[in-house]
Amino acid sequence: MADRGYDADWYREALQDKGIKPCILGQKSRGKPLKYDKRRYKRRNRIEIMFGKFNDWRRVATRYDRCPTVFLSALALAATVILWL
């Protein structure tokens, strides 16, 4: 799922080459409208809200931890607390 900004033929082809079915709304300037799952596209706001909540965690938003393992641990901790609350 992605926003209109990611609507490009090369991007769609790259996703399909990896076996991913794109759910991207077409640009308004596109002549022929593309098919997409409207219900799934409307649900993408849940993902955006989740990333917005991660930005409340300064350590995660600014990526204090340069080590990928420590950063993933901080991300998991933040996700656990967000879901718990």
Distance CA 31, CA 41 (A): 20
Mean pLDDT for the stretch of residues 49-74: 75
pTM of this prediction?
0.50
Q: pLDDT, tens digit, for every residue of 22-47?
A: 888 777 788 787 787 788 878 877 77
Reported as half-sphere exposure (CB side, CA atoms, 13 A), residue 3 has a value of 4
Would you tell me how many other CB atoms lie within 10 Å of the CB of residue 24?
20
Per-residue pLDDT for 18 more than 90? yes
